[in-house]
Chain A
Amino acid sequence: MNHDSYTDAYIRGILDEVKTIAMVGASANTVRPSYFVLKYLLAKGYDVIPINPGQAGKEILGQTVYASLADVPKPIDMVDIFRGSEAAGAIVDEALKLDPKPKVVWMQLTIRNDEAAARAEAEGVKVVMNRCPKIEYGRLSGEIGWTGVNSRVLSSKRPALKAGFQHRGLPGVNPRAGTKG
């Protein structure tokens, strides 16, 4: 498929479908983008597993860190890659060796590896590149509009609320019903 742009329906479908996300390159440093995204996705009810060899065995935001995807002791729905475009190729290959295979491989903003994407798609795995799931969730839920960001979403429907004062969700996307966020 064309990875220059994605339809909202494609992104929404992915955020609706996945529950367990392995984040490769998750940082324990609280001002790094990967830490932000980990924290946000946890707050939205996703089960997020940090992957970082340097932090293996420790916890980030209460989640046990694993050294590699192969070490994770449960099925992974989506692999979210916070590494450079070149390194992403080997991570995608690692992901494709998992049993069961993940449903989605997601590469963060500025990360794009078309060869790796083609290998994943050949095995029926959906791919998103050069996007951030936090920004996409915030965009599609309308939360990102609170910071003046152009969500490019128009709707005459009331946004979906989640528990808490200022938490929106995606209609139909509720990985863990009732959790805060």
Chain B
Amino acid sequence: MTDRIPGFSTLAIHAGAQPDPSTGARVTPIYQTTAFVFDDVDHAASLFGLQAFGNIYTRITNPTTAALEERVAALEGGTAALAVASGHAAQLLVFHAMLRPGDNIVAGNKLYGGSINQMNHSFKSFGWEVKWTEATDPQSFADKIDENTRAIFIESLANPGGVVTDIEAIAAIARDRGIPLVVDNTLASPYLCRPIEHGADIVVHSLTKFMGGHGNSMGGVIVDGGTFDWSASGNYPMLSEPRPEYSGMVLHETFGNFAFAIACRVLGLRDLGPAISPMNSFLILTGIETLPLRMQRHSDSARKVAEFLSGHDKVEWVSYAGLKGDPYHSLQQKYMPKGGGAVLTFGVKGGYDAGVALVSNVELHSHLANIGDTRSLIIHPASTTHRQLTDEQKTAAGAGPDVVRLSVGLEDVEDIIADLEQALSAV
């Protein structure tokens, strides 16, 4: 193309996906192969030494996955991306490149429950500490940072609860303290919110959700904003110091503003191994082509469902940032003006038993633990994902006995509302 800057929908279809160089195939082929032949030993040496661009082994790079990576990097406005097996794997590789034993992450407390578990328990085995802070209060991040803090972690749109985080305020603190801001943008997707434009340094996603969008493939991604100076403080030796794995190469000096994505690939993914399958990359790539259409529809329908629930006499409260009057509506208007996303929570009158009855009564909604599908999904956290917690812990986690979470799908919104209406009427 000319030097015209393409729009989001154009990038969602074309970024990273020229026709196949060998066959001319227009859709990115599924390169379902573990390894790639070398031209000769010198070519092999160049690839292993990171001196040439190319493919060795699908654990490290794969052309189908590469198309996905470039596309997500383009949609988020980053310099590069790395796709991995899941959103959890993406977070593991990000912090592996940033932290050493004894270091800590300052994390907002409004996070996906799986991330809270990962940080509280699994990361402890690596000697990484998490310091929880109030996600809705930017100043509390500044208060928690100490000399061992190597990352700040937030979700742009928190799951569940509909909390929109003030990214710019937290990014200003991160910049002031010389610490990278990592934002999980899974619930918003880059169609609704692009955190790098608001000061984030690194963006992660569970591609399993809205990016893939069809509930058929696991995947995660790390996007390098290209904004952070990894050499300034000496606190990020994976990037700023000579690496013994690569004969003393310094990654930041060598790869400049995409060095973080390279570090996650050639140190993290290469050695820890959570590679995405090329088949999953293909399915997620296909999903992303319709991301703008889907996210708009998800958001429009979710707002209508939220309005319906707000007026229902068996509903105590609704939490959805896209709803006028919601405490996070003004932040939603600032950070994601096109819509509030697909996920909302509400309280059903009658507590635990009413919640169980509701998820039992639905006929169109699927009762399962996921979000970001074409299908409308419902879950009652207190009886499922948060079952093992005490009542006090459930309430603190936003999973009180009355809480029901919806991921509003792409069916006709009249049918979605009718299903909720019949299910509520029998509660």
Residues of A whose CB lies within 8 Å of any CB of B are 7-9, 30-31, 33, 35-36, 39-40, 43, 109-110, 132, 135, 138, 142-161, 164-168, 180
Contacts and interface: CB of A to CB of B under 8 A. Distances in A.
B52 A148 contact: no
Interface of B: 1-3, 6, 10-11, 14-16, 18-22, 24, 26, 36-39, 43, 46, 49-55, 61, 63, 66-67, 69-70, 73-74, 78-83, 242, 246-250, 253-254, 256, 258, 261-262, 265
Given A31-B248, A33-B254, A36-B51, A148 B19 contact: no
Contacts of A35: 51
A146 B53 contact: yes
A132 B256 contact: yes
Contacts of B11: 154
B79 A143 contact: no
23 contacts: A9-B3, A31-B246, A31-B250, A33-B254, A36-B50, A39-B52, A143-B53, A145-B69, A146-B53, A146-B66, A147-B258, A148-B66, A148-B80, A150-B70, A150-B74, A154-B6, A155-B1, A155-B18, A158-B21, A164-B39, A164-B43, A165-B43, A180-B39
B73 to A, nearest CB: 4
Contacts of A109: 256
B249 A31 contact: yes
A42 to B, nearest CB: 11
B39 A156 contact: no
Contacts of B249: 31
Contact of B66 (A145, A156, A167): A145
A168 to B, nearest CB: 6
Contact of A149 (B51, B73, B83): B73
A4 B356 CA distance: 60
Nearest to A5: B3
- 9 closest Cβ contacts across the A-B interface? A148-B69, A150-B73, A166-B54, A31-B249, A143-B53, A149-B80, A159-B21, A154-B14, A164-B39
